[in-house]
Amino acid sequence: MFEALSGRLEGIFQKLRGRGLLTEENIREGLREVRLALLEADVHFSVVKRFVERVRERGVGQEVLKSLTPGQQLVKIVHEELIGLLGVNHAPLAFAPQPPTLIFLVGLQGSGKTTTSGKLALWCREKGRSPLLVAADVHRPAAAAQLATLGEQLRVSVLTPKPGAKPVEIGKEGLSRARAGAHDVVIVDTAGRLHIDPDLMEELKEMVTTLRPHEVLLVADAMTGQDAVNSATAFHQAVGLTGIILTKMDGDARGGAALSIREVTGQPVKFIGVGEKLDRLEVFHPERIASRILGMGDVLSLIEKAEQVMEVENAEKLARKIREDAFTLDDFRQQLQQVKRMGSMQQVLEMIPGLKKLKGVQADEKELVKVQAVIDSMTPGERHEISIINSSRKRRIALGSGTQVHDVNRLLKQFTETKRLMRQLSKAGPQSLGKMFSGLRGM
């Protein structure tokens, strides 16, 4: 996510380091490259123009703060302006004072509305809500069946339409069902439609006018860049959007849609989809996204993800084992499984400040699968005490995991090194962080 833009901006700021003053010439030179980087990231040209002008006005002639280099000063300015561009503060869902809350998901065909409906229902349930999914797409074959399948996976109630029912009637039935079944959130999956299709847009207008939803969220494919911005503008003019959900953000290395859509439409991005799994929906926090773009990491999101998959009791037990040097491969496997539940390893690494600057530190999902296969092929005794693993045991483990003996040796060496680093960290305190991150190069 934002990989291409982040790399370009990092290179630009490095050139500005070492100067004592941000002069107009320095700013002009740097912002020319920033402008090109944003345009290459498919950010809307009008957004780029206004953004660069704001940075230039703030940056010209500013004295460098005592603790900052000029490059860092410009990063600070760009960071603050990026937050402003993305929306300053997180825009939460507007839940109705008197339930049920009615949420419409609208957008183009293929943008991911049905899957996003399931993701949003799961998110609402995790927040203590009782969602009802309503299949109001009467145009796409099997749309209702797809939503019903998602509801079954999530254990969320789904209203499928009767043959011949109109979308407005389906929406009304959904509200009635919610009131009768004590559902406090109704998520309506509407049909995909082109904004230039007058009949389908009129159908959507009728639904919005009649049912008066509390939220009308556009589901837009982030990878379509400017097309996502254009469709958002058209939908907002037609039915009045209250927010946007950007899907497929994990596959978008440019980020033009995320950086343009709020500025152009005036409507906030409320969620982003960062994977195909139903739990891969993240709340959109402008300040955190701006930090990720500039390579500053996202510690708060990392902590929130960790809290979702790790129990306090287990964390304390793990800390005690590390202090007592009793950490085993069983513990390592358990932690590996929990980290995998947080998302892809690349996503996790991107949230750690400064880690992108360490050469050789990168995620290899296939290698993680191999590591788990090797551990699973060991006996409980071998996982508890790796010193008993001799040559014959290594051959057996390699054969059982479909790997080579050198893969087993590498895992054992890495695990031994990890234990050593953990032991140092638990004893020496914060100064050991540098040693620990240095050790990651070989992992």
Q: Where are the domains of the chain?
A: 3-86, 101-285, 301-442
Tell me how far apart the alpha carbons of residues 22 and 20 are, in angstroms, rounded to a whole number.
Answer: 7
Phi–psi pair at 273, nearest 5 degrees: -90, 125
Provide the residue count of the chain: 443
Handedness of CA 38, 42, 43, 44 (dihedral sign): positive
CA 402 to CA 399: how far, in whole Å?
5
For the chain, report the end-to-end CA distance as a whole number of angstroms: 23
Q: Pick left, alpha or beta for residue 343 (phi over 0 → left; psi -120 to 50 → alpha; otherwise beta).
A: left
Q: State how far the Cα of 31 lies from the Cα of 34, in Å rounded to an integer.
A: 5
| Range list of H helices, 41-108 | 45-59, 70-86
CATH topology of domain 301-442: 434 Repressor (Amino-terminal Domain) (1.10.260)
CATH 3.30.70.20 fits 101-285, yes or no: no
Helix or strand (DSSP H, E) at 405: helix 405-428
| Partners of residue 158 on adjacent β-strands | 133
162 contacts: CB under 8 Å, gap ≥ 6? none
CB 67 within 8 A of CB 85: no
Mean pLDDT by 10 residues, the chain (443 residues): 80 72 76 90 90 85 55 80 88 91 93 94 94 92 91 94 90 94 93 81 92 94 83 90 90 78 90 89 88 67 56 65 77 76 62 50 68 90 90 93 91 84 62 47 46
Specify whether the CB–CB gap between 5 and 41 falls below 8 A: yes
Q: Which pLDDT belongs to residue 433?
A: 46
Task: Give the pLDDT of residue 440.
Answer: 45
> Minimal CA–CA distance to 244: which of 279, 268, 213, 210?
268
Give the pLDDT of residue 390: 93
**Whole-angstrom distance, CA of residue 259 vs CA of residue 53:** 16
Residue 14: the pLDDT is: 77
The whole-number pLDDT of residue 416 equals: 86
Which parts of 324-378 fold into alpha helices (H)?
329-341, 345-350, 365-376
Cis peptide before 100, with omega less than 30 degrees from 0? yes
Q: What homologous superfamily does CATH list for 3-86?
A: SRP54, nucleotide-binding domain (1.20.120.140)
Whether 21 contacts 70, CB under 8 Å = yes
